Structure 1
Amino acid sequence: MGKVICEKHGEQGIISVCSHVHDAHLNKTKLLIQAITPLYIHVCSVCYYEHNIPEIEKVTIEDVVALQNQEKINRIEKLALKVEEAIGKEYLCGGCFQEVQFIC
C-alpha cells in the first residue's frame, strides 16, 4: 500500500475510492461503503450495484492464480480497468476515509 502525507492526519495509507466517496469527503458527509476485495477499491452502494460489482467479487485469488494463459489474465485486467474508469477512481488518506465511512 502506498503512503501519503495528509495535512490533517499526517502519514497515512492511500485508499482507492469511487468519485462519490471522494465527494462525500469534500462535503463532510458519510456514506455506506462497500469494499471490493479483489480490486482493493472502496465504493458507495450506487457504484456497487450500478457497475455489477457483486459479479467481480465472485473472483477469488485462487481463480486468478489458476489462470493458465496471458489472455485470461488480460481479460481480468481489462475488467478491473473498466470498473476503475466507471467509478471515477479517486484516492483518500486512511484517516479521511474513516471520516466518510458509515459503518452499519
Structure 2
Amino acid sequence: MVKNILKLLLTFSSVATCLYGINTFGNSMWPLIVIGLSGIVFISIFKRSIDKLAIIVCRIMGVVCIGAAVLLLVAGTIGGSFHLSKSNEVILLGLISMGTIGCLFFFVKLEEKFT
C-alpha cells in the first residue's frame, strides 16, 4: 500500500516538474523520457509483473534527480554569488521532491515471486 502511494507521488511530481520545464524552457528529449519512465511506474501499480522494473526505475530516477539538483545548485553560484531565477527555483523543488521520493525506494525490497 505504501509502495503504491510512493509510486503515485513520484509519478505526479515528475510529470508536473517535466510539464513545467517544457512549458518554461521548451520541449526537449529528457522531460519526455522522464514522463515515459513515470508511465512505467504508474502502470506498475496495476500490473504486478513489472513491479521489479518500476522499483529499479524509481531508484535510478531518485539518484539522477538528486544529482541534477546538486548541479543546479552549483550552477546558481556562477558569477560569484548565489542566484537562481524563479523558474529554476521551481525546477529545483521538483527535482528535490522527485529525488527524495525516488530514493525512498532503496528501502523497498525487490519481491521475488516463485510461482
TM-score (norm 1): 0.32
Would you tell me which structure has more strand in proportion to its own residues?
Answer: 1
More relative contact order in 1 or in 2 (CA 8 Å, sep 6+)? 1
Would you tell me which structure has more helix in proportion to its own residues?
Answer: 2
TM-score (norm 2): 0.30
